[in-house]
């Protein structure tokens, strides 16, 4: 069974373009939505994403919606803790494919890291 893990230097989840996520208001509160939108740069990437290092500049202080945690996912998406692993894997697959492509190095690295 595949086990979700965040792959360093991927950054696909840091591509925050709200046109790719029309359902944001469905799972973010008004203050969180405002914070989310304030983090989107002109290019659609998070303003806290370092494209050279390919990592978050505020990782330890990142908002709740940037964290893959059971309590947050249950509250935001209605995902039960036992479903989090599969849900997170699906989310990463969709996001990596959308940002880099389904045959990208990032996808290969993610699949290798999770045991696929």
Position 106 scores a pLDDT of 96
Model's pTM, two decimal places? 0.91
CA distances from 75 to 14, 47, 53, 61, 80 (A): 21, 25, 31, 19, 9
Cα distance between residue 68 and residue 60, in whole Å = 13
Give the model's pLDDT for residue 1. 83
* pLDDT tens track for 14-65: 999 999 999 999 999 999 999 999 999 999 999 999 999 999 999 999 999 9
Q: How far apart are CA 104 and CA 7, in angstroms?
A: 14
């Amino acid at each position: 069974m595949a086990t979700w893990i965040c792959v360093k230097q991927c950054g696909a989840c840091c591509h925050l373009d709200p046109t790719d996520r029309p359902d944001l208001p469905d799972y973010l509160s008004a203050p969180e939505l405002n914070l989310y939108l304030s983090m989107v740069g002109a290019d659609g990437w998070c303003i806290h994403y370092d494209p050279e290092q390919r990592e978050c500049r505020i990782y330890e202080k990142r908002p709740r919606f940037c964290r893959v945690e059971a309590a947050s996912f249950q509250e935001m998406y209605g995902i039960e803790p036992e479903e989090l692993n599969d849900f997170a894997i699906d989310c990463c697959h969709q996001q990596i494919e959308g940002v880099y492509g389904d045959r990208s190095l990032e996808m290969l690295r993610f699949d290798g890291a999770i045991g696929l």
